[in-house]
Amino acid sequence: MHPAAEHSPLGKSSEYISTYTPSLLFPIPRLAKWAELGVSGDALPWQGVDYWNCFELSWLLPSGKPVVAIGEFAIPADSPNIIESKSFKLYLNSLNQTVFASTDELQACLEKDLSAAAGKPVAVRVRTLAEVEGEGVVALPGQCIDGLDVAISNYEQPQPKLLQCDPQRVVEEAVHSHLLKSNCPVTGQPDWGSVVVEYKGLALDHASLLTYLVSFRQHADFHEQCVERIYLDLKRLLKPEYLTVYARYVRRGGLDINPYRSTGAISPNNLRLVRQ
């Protein structure tokens, strides 16, 4: 478990406060997890963003009438802190009985508080239900590898030694799997996700990728660190000209978390999958 997470509200009984309380936000430094991966915060081997989507965003107009909306929060992948997910939920719920004169006022408040917690500017979009409904759901790019006939016996921790490639062949492709699962390092609750690998580099053996991804099944780590581990393991293997790895996770507590990591600057579309 991350040492800072022991002091977070995650896994503990909590009082739900319905008036604005920014102090509920609990930042967790990324440095300890980066150190586990052999990564220095001064020279990160990726660029990217963590998209959080909130489906339980509500506040009051000056008339007392409530509003419901969907919040999108883009946290830079190089921010000093992640925001612990239960504290994020508690903070958002503290807006439920709080009056904001306009959506712009709410958005400015969210940007200020979340940026302070993350340690870098967080971009916020407050979106109407009609807007999000109109976008619908999307399919992941490239080939789905879940139908491959593979024998699997490793579930306890990621096994990068399972990954294989063809050192004589360079390809450019996208592949994806819906079989990513890991566990919360604090509560042990399952985190379900779909993962995408887009790259140009040595040809990745798809069956080996599938067995590798399933090896996360009983692994305990936060969403962001799972994606960073996958990214680093593939970067070492494929020697890519470019590489992007991202995961779209199923929501819990009204929030879904979607980390993106890439060799270069990216501006991904934050579009939902059918499980989201």
- Point out the annotated binding site for substrate: 83-85, 223-224
Q: In this predicted structure, what is the pLDDT of residue 12?
A: 47
Report the chain's mean pLDDT, rounded to a whole number: 94
Mean pLDDT within 169-176: 98
Which residues are part of the catalytic machinery? 184, 191
Q: What is the enclosing helix (H) or strand (E) of 158?
A: none
CB 55 within 8 A of CB 70: yes
Q: In this predicted structure, what is the pLDDT of residue 195?
A: 98
Say whether pLDDT at 8 is over 60: no
Tokens in use for 66? Answer: 């409530």
Tokens in use for 108? Answer: 């400015």
Q: In this predicted structure, what is the pLDDT of residue 111?
A: 98
CB 275 within 8 A of CB 137: no
- Point out the annotated binding site: 83-86, 223-224, 252-253
Percent share of the chain, pLDDT over 90: 91
Say whether pLDDT at 177 is over 50: yes
Mean pLDDT within 128-143: 97
pTM: 0.93
Contacts of residues 88-92 at CB distance under 8 Å and 24 or more positions apart, as own/partner, are 88/25, 88/52, 88/255, 89/56, 89/253, 89/254, 89/255, 90/9, 90/14, 90/16, 90/17, 90/21, 90/24, 91/21, 91/22, 91/24, 91/25, 92/54, 92/56, 92/57, 92/254
